[in-house]
């Protein structure tokens, strides 16, 4: 889930309770909310850290800050960003001001990843039958004039649906019968 759309943009996870950890985590959440970030505190140390991390990943939380006694002693926080595979650390002081910038960077990175995945799995078709075949493992793009509502019905019988109509120039489609309008089709599940 992209950072702009995420109901919770940042979760501050207390990895292990210790003197001042929950208080510092609560303070971080307050700072983030003051900076306009949708943040949530996870201080449920009765559940394993691994289980809570998986839960937040499944929910699509874009940014996770992990804080434990050792981190607090080192005056740092561990950062896990959904858009990047590795964790990093940062100093606790004035850290909350950097989060909005990270969310913007991650939004751009996630969009680039999604666009590359989509483009890598989309192939051009010249007929409805070819589109049906190509949609078995990705997306197919074919001219709407070739597809039309009759082709759309044929695709539907094969479990493939038109996902959207796009113009070659990327502008919104006002009239599907205009030149350059293409249908993106994929298998329906």
152-165, pLDDT tens digit by residue? 999 999 999 999 99
Q: What is the mean pLDDT of the chain?
A: 92
**Greater pLDDT, 145 or 170:** 145
Tokens (6 digits) for 102: 């990270």
pLDDT at residue 126, rounded to an integer: 95
Model pLDDT for residues 15-66, shown as the tens digit of each residue? 998 899 999 999 999 999 999 999 999 999 999 999 999 999 999 999 999 9
103 located within any domain: yes
Residue 140 has pLDDT above 90, yes or no: yes
- Lowest-confidence region among 72-76, 179-183, 185-189: 185-189
Is residue 29 located within the same domain as residue 43? yes
The pLDDT, as a whole number, for residue 97 is: 85
Who has greater pLDDT, 118 or 80?
80
Boundary residue ending a domain (75, 99, 117): 117
Per the CB < 8 A criterion, the answer to whether 53 and 64 are in contact is yes
pLDDT given for residue 2 in this prediction: 62
Domain harbouring 126, CATH code: 3.30.110.30
Q: What sign does the dihedral 138-144-149-151 (CA atoms) show?
A: negative
Residues 6+ apart with CB under 8 A from 163: 139, 184, 185, 186
* pLDDT recorded at residue 1: 55
Residue 71, token pair as written in the block: 């981190």
DSSP code per residue over 2-45: -TTT-S-SEEEEESS--TTHHHHHHHHHHHHHHTT--EEEE--T
Same domain, 113 and 146: no
Instruction: Please count the structural domains in the chain.
Output: 2
Task: Tell me the pLDDT band of 122, cut-offs 50, 70 and 90.
Answer: very high
Segments forming the whole domain that contains residue 29:
10-117
The residue from 117, 142, 175 where one domain ends is 117
Asked if pLDDT for residue 183 goes beyond 70, the answer is yes
For 166, the enclosing helix (H) or strand (E) is strand 160-167
Polymer length of the chain: 189
Domain annotation covers residue 2: no
Q: Answer yes or no: are the C-beta atoms of 12 and 65 closer than 8 Å.
A: yes
Same domain, 112 and 180: no
The percentage of residues in the chain with a pLDDT greater than 90, rounded to a whole number, is 75
CATH number (domain holding residue 39): 3.40.50.800
Residues 77 and 128 in one domain: no
């Amino acid at each position: 889930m992209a950072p702009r759309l995420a109901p919770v943009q940042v979760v501050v996870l207390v990895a292990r309770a210790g003197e001042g950890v929950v208080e510092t985590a609560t303070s971080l959440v307050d700072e983030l909310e003051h900076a306009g970030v949708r943040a949530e505190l996870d201080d449920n140390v009765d559940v394993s850290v691994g289980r809570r991390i998986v839960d937040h990943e499944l929910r699509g939380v874009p940014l996770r800050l992990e804080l434990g006694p050792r981190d607090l002693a080192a005056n740092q926080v561990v950062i896990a960003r959904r858009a990047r595979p590795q964790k990093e650390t940062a100093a606790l002081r004035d850290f909350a001001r950097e989060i909005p910038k990270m969310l913007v960077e991650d939004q751009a990175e996630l969009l680039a990843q999604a666009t590359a995945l989509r483009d890598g799995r989309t192939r051009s078709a010249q007929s409805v039958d070819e589109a049906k075949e190509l949609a078995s493992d990705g997306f197919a793009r074919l001219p709407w004039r070739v597809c039309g509502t009759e082709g759309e019905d044929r695709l539907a019988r094969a479990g493939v649906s038109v996902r959207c109509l796009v113009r070659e120039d990327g502008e919104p489609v006002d009239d599907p019968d205009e030149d350059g309008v293409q249908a993106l089709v994929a298998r329906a599940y």
